[in-house]
């Protein structure tokens, strides 16, 4: 069996807030295998966002070790973290977070610009990725404010897929969608997972755990139950 794609060993994250210390993560050890679909659950304040930030290389631990796709990111600086993030992680946000000045297809092109994909390949690849995310081609040249929530999330998923990362990280991907649209988005994510992408979804929606093959429940900065 190959190395886990995401590995956390005894990770602690401590924030200082005024005089008091907050232990957002308190010795968390998890490992996620390639091709896994993992949901991370927990109440607000349980540390799930912090965990997601660690896995997404947006943050580094106070102590412990985080390995992403074989690279130890614990001691990396901002620029190196950016590179790891760019090549390994696709982000999907609850708020979609599309760039409002850019059209759908341009939003998908953005990560490719940062990974220096030549301009002549970008358009075509972005179009294909949008197709993969099931956005109708006619919306490719629309601005985010001209799209519905579901459509925006599809663009965001396409953007996350743009650099063909091995890991997709979704933070409440259906949180801003009605249940029908949410269901279709989840089906899309499941399909992407079946095609080989490791999928990590952070949510407090119990229903999403039905799709995943593994659920991690966090409570007060600790893993309370690894297996569902």
Partner 1 sequence: MISIEDIQSNMYLQLAKRNLKRQTFRTVLAAIGIIIGVIAISSMGILGNSLKMSVTDSFGDIGDKLLIYPAPGEDGVTEKQIQQMKKVDGIDAIIPAYSTGDRVEYKNSYTFGSIYSIEREDLEKLAEVEDGQFFKSGSTDCVIGSSIADNLELRVGSKIEIGDSRLRVVGILKERGMGFDIDADTGVFTSAQMYEKMYPGEGDEYDFAIVRAEELDKVDDIKEDIEKLLNKKEEVITVFATNIILESINEAFKSISLFLMGIGSISLLVAGVSILNVMLMSTMERTKEIGVMKAVGASRKDVLTMFLLEALLLGVVASLIGGLFTIGAGYLILSLVVKNTSYLFSLATLIYIFEGILFGVATSLIGGMYPAWKASNMRPLDALRYE
Decide: is 16 part of the binding site for partner 1 (CB under 8 A).
no
Count of Cβ atoms closer than 10 Å to residue 44 Cβ: 8
Nearer to partner 1, 33 or 81 (CB): 81
Of 192, 207, 188, 175, give the one whose Cα is nearest residue 36. Answer: 192
Binder of partner 1 out of 26, 94, 97, 132 (CB under 8 A) = 97
* Residues within window 119-148 making contact with partner 1, judged by CB under 8 A: 119
Pairwise CA distance, residues 219 & 223, whole Å: 6
Who contacts 62 (Cβ-Cβ below 8 Å, separation ≥6)?
A: 12, 13, 14
Any contact of residue 113 with partner 1 (CB under 8 A)?
yes
Q: Is 59 a binder of partner 1 (CB under 8 A)? A: yes
- Residues 157 and 137: their CA atoms lie apart, in Å, by 15
Both tokens of 15, joined, read 């924030």
State the helix-helix crossing angle for 104-114 and 149-161, rounded to 10 degrees. Answer: 20
**Member of 5, 66, 106, 201 binding partner 1 (CB under 8 A):** 106
* Least distance in angstroms from the C-beta of 99 to partner 1: 6
- Give residues in contact with partner 1 (CB under 8 A): 53, 56, 58-59, 78-79, 82-83, 85-87, 91, 93, 97, 99-102, 106, 109-111, 113-115, 119, 159-160, 162-163
């Amino acid at each position: 069996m190959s190395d886990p794609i995401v590995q956390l060993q005894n990770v602690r994250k401590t924030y200082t807030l005024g005089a008091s210390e907050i232990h957002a993560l308190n010795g968390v050890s998890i490992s996620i295998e390639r091709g896994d679909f993992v949901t991370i659950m927990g109440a607000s304040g349980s540390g799930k966002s912090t965990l997601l930030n660690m896995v997404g290389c947006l943050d580094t631990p106070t102590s412990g070790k985080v390995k992403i796709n074989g690279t130890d990111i614990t001691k990396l600086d901002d620029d190196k973290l950016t590179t790891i993030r760019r090549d390994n992680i696709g982000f999907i946000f609850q708020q979609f977070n599309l760039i409002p000045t850019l059209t759908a297809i341009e939003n998908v092109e953005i990560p490719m610009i940062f990974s220096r994909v030549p301009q002549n390949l970008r358009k075509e690849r972005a179009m294909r990725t949008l197709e993969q995310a099931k956005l109708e081609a006619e919306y490719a040249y629309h601005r985010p404010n001209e799209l519905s929530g579901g459509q925006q999330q599809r663009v965001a998923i396409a953007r996350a897929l743009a650099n063909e990362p091995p890991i997709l990280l979704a933070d409440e991907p259906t949180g801003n969608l009605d249940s029908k649209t949410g269901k279709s988005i989840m089906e899309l994510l499941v399909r992407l997972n079946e095609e080989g992408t490791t999928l990590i979804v952070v949510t407090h929606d119990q229903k999403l755990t039905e799709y995943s093959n593994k659920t991690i429940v966090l409570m007060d900065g600790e893993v309370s139950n690894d297996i569902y």
